[in-house]
Structure 1
Amino acid sequence: MRKKLTTALIALSAAMMLSACTTSPTGRSQVLLYSDAQLAQSGAQAFAGMKQEIPISSTAVTNNFVQCIANNIIQQLGPSASPDDWEVVVFDSDQVNAFALPGKKIGVYTGLLKVAQNQDQVAAVIGHEVGHVLAQHGNERMSQSTLIGISQEAVSVALQSNNVAQSGAIMSAFGLGAQLGVTLPFSRAHETEADIIGLDLMARAGFDPRQSINLWQNMNKASGGNRPLEMLSTHPAPDTRIANLRANMGPALTTYNAVLNKPKCE
């Protein structure tokens, strides 16, 4: 019975992967198990919860500044993209961060505006976060967790059915291996991909892509250098990130220089 269950779980995992294979905006292979509607609903629910839990900035100048930048980024998402379809909220928090969620939600923390020194640097962050949504990284991470869970269950059943000694230790090692070998590298790949997409978005919107490098230099300085080893981090090390941005700066600068009407959100 256990052998049949193990075989069924493996077959289910393989079938799910084959049926959900797609390609990201940069050409990277992905497995996406969830629909856009499911992700949009989850994003909207999460955003609603955050608006109830975190104070929202009431400063008109700050809100207008962030909205202006976001609008210019959103307008690069396609001919039918409209800023009116997106909800942009400035949260009054010292967190140096921003995010975008499926369901067309963007959140920016006021703490970010103390580190990002101009409209171009804020645009680099918003472009990056929207890049995560465009590349469906949330869907990919959820799908990945689902597949890892199925695989772990299959291994657990196989170990128990064959009375394998130290099965608990083996399962713990399997979990760690999944984290170091799959989850964290995928997260770093997502961050790098979002940087590339964001660089293109901000350049097409007329924001200076060179400021993305200044932004991450500021971010590194603000962190005080207190970062985990890159191998154990979900984000690339600052030097790695900056090197990747520099490597993709040529096309972004060409795009930026061709934009005649640059935004003036400041």
Structure 2
Amino acid sequence: MKVRSCYFFAAMLGLLVSCKVNPFTGKKVLNFYPNSQVFPMAFAEYDEFLGQNNVLKDNAEAKMITKVGQRISSAAERWLNANGYPGYLKDYQWEYNLVKDATVNAWCMPGGKIVFYTGILPICDGETGVAVVMGHEVAHALADHGAQRMSAGTLQQIGAVAGNIAIQDPQSRNMFNQAYGIGSSVGVMLPFSRSHETEADRIGLQIMAIAGYNPDEAAALWRRMKEKAGGQAPAEFLSTHPSNDTRIQNLTAWAPQAKEEAKKFGVTSFQ
């Protein structure tokens, strides 16, 4: 079996199992792991993480994280209900925690389990900046990006196994493994991840606006992030995330559209 055949096999399997629809884009997505399988695992891992880290509960910043998270997830539910997806969030268990850690990051696990590190708060520079990051993380949960990554990883493994079974010559098999590893990562998995980040940026911008937060702040946040990075970032094609410049350009272009979407829900002024 040629390398091309292995990619074709993986692609065809992907098409067969791409049966879920992203409600925000209307597009079919690669996801063959049901919430009933993914969410319990994510919830258990989240609880384990919280038990091993310094979670801040009673200070003003922790309360702000929870407040913003509730506003954003409520806005998402309003949008889903208004657009024909009632009950979409029935299995979600939203939780928002602030962890004392200098890392400039925030993340979300499937089912709505979100963590902010204190290190990202100076970049957020206030509640509206927190809403930018929160909208992005909530969007990852809404779009099932975690399950999609699991699905893509499974297909990547299937392609590797198929190639190793089909190629009998050890030297050719080694060449295949090297080419497949680099090709499937740089050519498939990394672009797949960047597409998720871009999608979460756009969805997050929309729901933060519906929640009453100014979507113009998103580009401003990424300008601060760029300044913090000081130009130290990998080339975009080797990264899991779009470049800061790409994000700034996209978010600036999408902000007026987010405001128009918010108008449909009676939101015309922003915090």
TM tier, smaller: 0.7 to 0.9
Once the two structures are overlaid, the 10-residue window that deviates more, 198-207 or 21-30, is 21-30
Higher relative contact order (CA 8 A, sep 6+): 1
Equivalent position amino acid for 2:201 in 1:
D
Contact 1:57 1:92 in 2 (8 A): yes
- Counterpart of 1:22 in structure 2 is 20
Calculate percent identity across the aligned residue pairs. Answer: 34
Q: How many aligned positions are there?
A: 255
Of 33-42 and 99-108, more deviation after overlay is shown by 99-108
- Whether 1:146 aligns to 2:144 is no
| Cα gap change, 1:17 to 1:242, in 2 (>3 Å) | same
Counterpart selection for 2:110 from 102, 109, 119: 102
Offset of residue 85 of structure 1: 4.5
Distance in 2 between residues matched to 1:164 and 1:110, nearest whole Å: 50
Answer with 1 or 2: which has the greater Rg.
Answer: 1
Residue number in structure 2 paired with 1:237:
243
How far the C-alpha of 1:155 sits from its partner, in A, is: 1.0
**1:4-61 CA distance string (max 9 Å, x none):** xxx9xx8798456413433322234421110111111121012112102211114421
Residues 93 and 113 in structure 2, CA contact (< 8 A), matched pair in contact too: no
Q: 1:12 to 1:65 in 2, by over 3 A?
A: closer
Cα distance, 1:11–1:244 mapped onto 2, change above 3 Å: closer
CA deviation profile, 1:104-163 (whole Å, cap 9, x unmatched): 212111111111112111101010011111111111110001011111111111111xx3
Alignment TM-score, normalising by the size of structure 2: 0.85
Which of 163, 171, 178 is the aligned partner of 2:184? 178
- Structure 2 unaligned regions, length at least 5: 82-86
Instruction: State the superposition RMSD in angstroms.
Output: 2.6
Distance between the aligned counterparts of 1:137 and 1:188, measured in 2? 11
Equivalent residue letter for 1:203:
A
Could you tell me which residue of structure 2 aligns to residue 35 of structure 1? 34
Check the 8 A contact 1:13/1:150 in 2, yes or no.
no
Structure 1 position 77, deviation (Å): 2.3
**In the alignment, what sits opposite 2:61?**
62
Amino acid at match of 1:137: H
| Shift in alpha-carbon separation, 1:182–1:45, aligned structure 2, 3 A | same
Q: Per-residue deviation at 1:98?
A: 1.2
Stretches of 4+ aligned residues off by more than 6 angstroms? 10-13
> Which residue is equivalent to 1:48?
47
Task: Report the equivalent of 1:221.
Answer: 227
Query: Unaligned 5+ residue runs, structure 1?
Result: none
Asked if 2 retains the 8 angstrom alpha-carbon contact of 1:16 and 1:33, the reply is no
Matched, 1:134 2:142: yes
